[in-house]
Structure 1
Amino acid sequence: MVQSSVLGFPRIGANRELKKTTEAYWQGKVSVEELFKVGKEIREHNWKLQKQAGVDVIASNDFSFYDQVLDLSLLFNAIPERYAKYNLSPIDTFFAMGRGLQKKATETEAAVDVTALEMVKWFDSNYHYVRPTFSHSTQFKLNGQKPVDEFLEAKALGIQTRPVLVGPLSYLTLGKADKDSLDLEPLSLLEKLLPVYAEILKKLADAGATSVQLDEPVLVLDLDEKTQAAFKTAYDFLASQSGLPAITLATYFGTVVPNLGAIKDLPVAGFHFDFARNPEQLDEVASILNDNQTLSVGVVDGRNIWKNDFAKSSAIVQKAIEKVGKDRVVVATSSSLLHTPVDLESEKKLNPEIKDWFSFATQKLAEVAVIAKNVSGEDVSAELEANAKSVSTRASSNITNNEAVQKRVQSIDEKMSRRLSPFPERLAVQEKAFKLPLFPTTTIGSFPQTKDIRINRNKFVKGTITAEEYEKFINAEIETVIRFQEEIGIDILVHGEPERNDMVQYFGEQIDGYTFTTNGWVQSYGSRYVRPPIIVGDLSRPKPMSVKESVYAQSITTKPCKGMLTGPVTCLRWSFPRDDVDQKTQALQLALALRDEVNDLDAAGIKIIQVDEPALREGLPLRAGQDRSDYLKWAAESFRIATSGVGNETQIHSHFCYSDLDPNHIKALDADVVSIEYSKKDDPKYISEFLDYPNHIGLGLFDIHSPRIPSTEEFKAKIEKILESYPAEKFWVNPDCGLKTRGWAETKESLTHMVEAAKFFREKYGAKK
C-alpha cells in the first residue's frame, strides 16, 4: 500500500493557544513551566489528529515557540556573543535572539539590552524566519536535544514520528555573516557543522527514530557550482557515519530540476518534491532515483486553502508509481502545512457553497490519506464522487465571475500607469507645497492596537454598539494619535489606523470578490498571526474604503496627514489567491480598485498617500528567468496603475519590509518617497545599493517587532552612520514598520527619541532644505 505523509503541521494551536501563552510568558504572567506545558499539549493534539486521520508518516520537531530555523541556531550553538554573554536560560536566549530583550538591572539580575537578529521572508511565503548569524568565532555544538525530546514525547503516546530538521546546506545558505565577520562565507562552516548534525541524528536513532526528514528548500533557488557540490560533501559525510536514521531529503516551493546534478546519486533513502507547484518536474526527478530510493510526491498544497482535485492528484501519483513502483511512492503534502489555517470546521459563518471549496490543514490530512488509498486500490469512490462535485461546482459558480471587472482590466492602457511628470518635476511642486525640513519625520502608519480598540471593534461587529457610537470612539482614538504626533514634533502625521483589524483584511472586507474566515489564523512570525482573506472571485471596490477616517484626521490638524492604503501586490500575496486565474489578472483588478480609492482620497484633500507594498519582494519568482522579468513588470505596473491618477502635487509614498530588496524593483514603482526596513541590517553595503535610487527614502531606524526602546543617542549613531554614504537631502526618518503590535509607553518613548535625533541633525546640517 502507498503510504501517506505530512511534512509538518501548524503549531499555533486550534485556538491560538501558543500565541496567548507565549505573550503571557513575555509579560511575566505565566511561568516557563506553563509555557512548556502548553507547547506539549499542542504537540500531542497535532500528532493524535494526524494519526486518527490515517496519516502514515507524521513529522515531529515541526513545533517551535517562535521559529524552526531559530530553533536550530539555539540547538547548534550559533548564538552570537551579544546574547550568550547574559547567561540567560535557553528559552530566554531563544526569545532574545528572535525579538530582542531590554531589562533594567535589579538587585539580583544585571541589565540586559540586546536587539533581535534579522528576520526575513521564508522564500516566497509570508512566513518570516530568523536568519542564522555566524562569525569567525562560531563554535557549533549541541545545546540540548529538542528533536529527540519531542520524538520521545510522541513515542510515549504510541506514535512513531519522523523528526524534521532544516538541512545543513539550507541552514548555512539562508544564514549570513555577523557584523564583525563580514568576510565570512557561511558555507565555509559546513565542515564544522556536519559533525553536530551527525551527533543529533545519532541521538535520534538511539531514541528509536528510523528515519528523518532534512529540509533543503534552497534547492529551488539558483545555486552556484560551489553550493551544488557541497550537497555531495554533506550527505556523503552523513552516510559515512554509522547508526544514523534513514534520510529523506525534502524540497518544496518550486522545481528542483536545474539543481538535479547536486542531488543525483546522493546516499539518502529518498526524496520529497513539490508537485503541487511544479507537476511537470516528475519525469526528470524520477530519473535520478536509484532502485532503492523512495519518491515522496507532494500533491496536497501546503500553501493554499483550495480543496484538492483528487482526480488530478491521483493521476500524478499514478504516473510516479509507473516510474518507480508502488512500494517506493509516498503521497504527501507539498510542504509543511504551517502556511494554512488549522481547521475548516471552526468556520461557522462561511457561505456553505464557498466553504465547500476549501480545505484547511486538518482537512488536508484526510486528503493525503484518501489519495494514498485511491492509488493503492482501496474503495474511496464516495470520497472521489464528493470531491469531483465540489471541484465542478466551484468552476461553474457565478460567484467567481464579474464581466464588468473583466472588461475594465482589458481596457487598461499604458497611460494609466504613468504619472503626469517625472519625479524631479513632481518634487519641485511638492517641496513648495509641503515646505518640509531636512530629515522629515513620519511613521509607517499604524499605532498601538490597544485592548480598548479591540473590545470596541468586537462590540461593533457583534452589534452591541451602534455605528455612530463606534465612529465616535474611532475619532477619539484618531485624535489621540494626532495630538501625540503634534506634541513630539513629527512632520508628516498618520491617523493611526484604529479602525483596521489588518492591513489586508480591512480593505478586503470592502472589496467584492473576497471572503473571510473567523478563525483562519496563520503564523506570520513569532506570536504574530494573520487571517489571510480569500479571493474567490473577480475584484472590485463598490464604495470608498478609507476616505472618511483620513478626512477626519486631516480636519483636526494643520500638518499633512497621510492617507494609508495597502498596495495591490500585497493585497494579493497576503491573501489566499485564486488558483483558477493568474496572479497578474488578480493584481490588476486590485490595482483598479485601489486607483479609485487613491483618486477619492486626492479629491478629498489628502495630498500625501502611502500605498504599502511589503510583499513586493515576496512575490518574486524564486529563480531568475522570464517568469521573474514578467512578474516585476506586472507588479510595478499594478502599483503605478493604483497611484498614477493624481497630480504632481500629490506625494505618493510606499513601504517595504523584511526582505532582501533590490533598488531596481522599487525604482520601477516611481513612488515619491519609500520607507524600507533597515533596523536589522548589519552590512554597510546595503546602503550603497540605494545610492543611485533617484527618489527619496527612509531607512527604518528601530525594530517595531521588539519591545526594546532605542535611546536618542542610539538613533543619532544610526543616522550618523547612514549619512556617511547617503545624502541628507533625500533621507527621511521613520521606524521600520507599523506600530500596531507595540504598547503605547514604548511607542511614545521610541518615537520621541527618534524625533529628537532628527532635530539634532537638522541643526547640524541646517534646518531647511
Structure 2
Amino acid sequence: MKKLLPTSTAGSLPKPSWLAESETLWSPWKLQDQALVDGKKDALCVSLHEQQQAGIDIVSDGEQTRQHFVTTFIEHLNGVDFENRKIVKIRDRYDASVPTVVGPVSRQKPVFVEAAKFLRQQTDQPIKWALPGPMTMIDTLYDDHYKSREKLAWEFAIILNQEAKELEAAGVDIIQFDEPAFNVFFDDVNKWGIACLERAIEGLKCETAVHICYGYGIKANTDWKKTLGNEWRQYEEAFPKLQASNIDIISLECHNSHVPMELLELIRGKKVMVGAIDVATNTIETPEEVANTLREALKYVDADKLYPCTNCGMAPLSREVARGKLKALSDGAAIVRKELSV
C-alpha cells in the first residue's frame, strides 16, 4: 500500500564543507577535475544518506552536483555567454551579475542525467529531481538575442522537455520545476508562464511538480517578505490556472509564512507538497509544529494528496540544522499519519 503523507524536500541540501564553502549560495567548488567529479558523487551519497537517516520518503540528490539551482543548468546550454555578464534585477528584488543570451539557445547534451542515473543506482525509494522552470530561467539572465521574455521562455521550455524526458528514462519518479518567479510576475504567469510549463512537461509519464516559494532564506528575500504585509496572497493569482493545468503536484510554502491556508482550496484536487519547514531560520521545528501545519493544510487538501515538504531549498543552512529540520519533518508527518489511521 502507498504510504500516506510521504515526505520530501523542496530541493537543495547543504553541501559538505570539503566540496564547497558551507552556508553560501553560488559557493565555488573546493575540488578540481576528476577529484571534483568524484567529490560530487560522494556528496550525493552523503546527502541521500542524511535524507534516509531522517526518514524522508521521496529522496533527491540534494542538488549536490550543482552550484545553483538555475545557473548550473544554463551553463550547459549553447547561446549563453558566461564571460559577458550584466547586472539585472532578479525577481524584481535584488541585483545580480548574470550571463548574457547572445544567440539561439539549445542543449547539446544532457545536463543532469548521469547524476540522476547514479542516484537511481543508490536507492529503491522514489526519487524527485528539480529543474529550473522557464520563467525563473529567463529571470536569471540578460537577453541580448530574443529581446522577448516570452520567446526565450518557450525556447527554454523545449530544452527542459528534452532534459525531463531523459531524466524520466533514467528512473526519476517526480520531475519538479522551480518557479519562484510565479510569485512575482503575475500577468506573465497567466498569459504564458503556465503554458510554457505545460510545454516543458509535454509527453512525460512520470509525475510532475511545480515549486513556487518565497525564496531561500537570504537577506534579499527576507527583506522583501517584510514588505508583503500580514497576508501573502501571491498564490491566489496563479492557483486557479495551475489547478486546471496538467501539472500533478504543486509545492508551496506554508510554515512561518503569512500565506493564508485557505488559498489551498483553489488547488483542491491537485497533490500538494506542503512546506512545513521554515528554511529562513536556524531554529529547528518541533515535530508538533510540523504536525500543526499539516493538520491545518488537511482542511483544504485531501489526505491522500498531501506531501509534507520543506518551504524551499536548504543550501544556505548548516548541515546540522538541515538534518534536524528533516528529522522534524519526518517525525511531524508520522504524528499526523498515526492520527489519520485511527
Return the TM-score normalized by structure 1.
Answer: 0.39
Determine which structure has more spread, i.e. the larger CA radius of gyration: 1
Aligned to 1:712: 287
Q: Say which of 637, 648, 652 aligns to 2:195.
A: 637
Aligned to 2:38: 472
Aligned to 1:458: 29
After TM superposition, where is structure 1 displaced by more than 6 Å over at least 4 residues in a row?
518-525
Determine if contact 2:128/2:176 at 8 Å carries over to the other structure: yes
In structure 2, the CA distance between the partners of 1:620 and 1:683, relative to structure 1 (3 Å rule), is closer
Q: Say which of 162, 168, 181 aligns to 1:602.
A: 168
CA distance in 1 between counterparts of 2:12 and 2:137 reads 17
Give runs of aligned pairs for residues 720-735 of structure 1, distance below 5 A: 720-735=295-310
Give runs of aligned pairs for residues 79-478 of structure 1, distance below 5 A: 436-454=2-20, 458-459=29-30, 465-466=32-33, 468-478=34-44
Give the Å deviation of 1:586: 0.5
In structure 2, the CA distance between the partners of 1:759 and 1:530, relative to structure 1 (3 Å rule), is farther
Give runs of aligned pairs for residues 590-739 of structure 1, distance below 5 A: 590-621=156-187, 632-647=190-205, 650-658=206-214, 660-662=234-236, 663-682=239-258, 684=260, 686-739=261-314
CA distance in 1 between counterparts of 2:69 and 2:337 reads 33
What per-residue deviation string (whole Å, max 9, x for no partner) do you get for residues 151-189 of structure 1? xxxxxxxxxxxxxxxxxxxxxxxxxxxxxxxxxxxxxxx
Give runs of aligned pairs for residues 534-573 of structure 1, distance below 5 A: 534-573=100-139
What per-residue deviation string (whole Å, max 9, x for no partner) do you get for residues 527-584 of structure 1? x985433222221111100011111111111101112211111111222234753222
What per-residue deviation string (whole Å, max 9, x for no partner) do you get for residues 500-539 of structure 1? 11111101101111122598677869xx985433222221
Determine if contact 1:640/1:669 at 8 Å carries over to the other structure: yes
Determine if contact 1:441/1:732 at 8 Å carries over to the other structure: yes
Determine if contact 2:251/2:272 at 8 Å carries over to the other structure: yes
CA distance in 2 between counterparts of 1:510 and 1:683 reads 36
In structure 2, the CA distance between the partners of 1:448 and 1:529, relative to structure 1 (3 Å rule), is farther
CA distance in 2 between counterparts of 1:690 and 1:574 reads 31
Determine if contact 1:436/1:491 at 8 Å carries over to the other structure: no
SS of the residue corresponding to residue 183 of structure 2 reads coil
CA distance in 1 between counterparts of 2:240 and 2:266 reads 11
What per-residue deviation string (whole Å, max 9, x for no partner) do you get for residues 213-254 of structure 1? xxxxxxxxxxxxxxxxxxxxxxxxxxxxxxxxxxxxxxxxxx
Determine if contact 2:15/2:319 at 8 Å carries over to the other structure: no
In structure 2, the CA distance between the partners of 1:698 and 1:459, relative to structure 1 (3 Å rule), is closer
Determine if contact 1:687/1:726 at 8 Å carries over to the other structure: no
* Identity between Structure 1 and Structure 2 (%): 25
Higher relative contact order (CA 8 A, sep 6+): 2
CA distance in 1 between counterparts of 2:308 and 2:29 reads 35
Aligned to 2:219: none
Aligned to 1:488: 54
Give the Å deviation of 1:594: 0.7
| 2:331 pairs with 1:756 | yes
In structure 2, the CA distance between the partners of 1:524 and 1:688, relative to structure 1 (3 Å rule), is closer
In structure 2, the CA distance between the partners of 1:543 and 1:683, relative to structure 1 (3 Å rule), is closer
Name the amino acid aligned to 1:454: A
Give the Å deviation of 1:691: 4.7
Determine if contact 1:656/1:675 at 8 Å carries over to the other structure: yes
CA distance in 2 between counterparts of 1:691 and 1:576 reads 34
Return the TM-score normalized by structure 2.
Answer: 0.84
Give the Å deviation of 1:439: 1.0
Give the Å deviation of 1:688: 4.1
In structure 2, the CA distance between the partners of 1:458 and 1:766, relative to structure 1 (3 Å rule), is same
Unaligned runs of 5+ in 2: 22-26, 215-231
CA distance in 2 between counterparts of 1:632 and 1:546 reads 29
In structure 2, the CA distance between the partners of 1:511 and 1:669, relative to structure 1 (3 Å rule), is farther
Give the Å deviation of 1:720: 2.2
CA distance in 2 between counterparts of 1:618 and 1:710 reads 28
CA distance in 2 between counterparts of 1:561 and 1:692 reads 24
Give the Å deviation of 1:600: 0.9
CA distance in 1 between counterparts of 2:134 and 2:266 reads 27
Give the Å deviation of 1:756: 0.3
Give the Å deviation of 1:677: 1.3
Name the amino acid aligned to 2:318: G
Give runs of aligned pairs for residues 38-117 of structure 1, distance below 5 A: none
In structure 2, the CA distance between the partners of 1:666 and 1:691, relative to structure 1 (3 Å rule), is closer
Name the amino acid aligned to 1:674: I
Name the amino acid aligned to 1:635: G
Aligned to 1:327: none
CA distance in 2 between counterparts of 1:585 and 1:542 reads 20
CA distance in 1 between counterparts of 2:149 and 2:96 reads 21
CA distance in 2 between counterparts of 1:523 and 1:635 reads 19
CA distance in 2 between counterparts of 1:537 and 1:669 reads 31
CA distance in 2 between counterparts of 1:615 and 1:447 reads 21
More strand by percentage: 2
In structure 2, the CA distance between the partners of 1:534 and 1:703, relative to structure 1 (3 Å rule), is farther
CA distance in 1 between counterparts of 2:144 and 2:185 reads 15
CA distance in 2 between counterparts of 1:580 and 1:688 reads 36
Give the Å deviation of 1:739: 0.8
Name the amino acid aligned to 1:440: P
Name the amino acid aligned to 1:652: T
Determine if contact 1:447/1:740 at 8 Å carries over to the other structure: yes
Name the amino acid aligned to 1:513: G
Determine if contact 2:146/2:152 at 8 Å carries over to the other structure: no
Determine if contact 2:16/2:43 at 8 Å carries over to the other structure: no
Determine if contact 1:550/1:562 at 8 Å carries over to the other structure: no
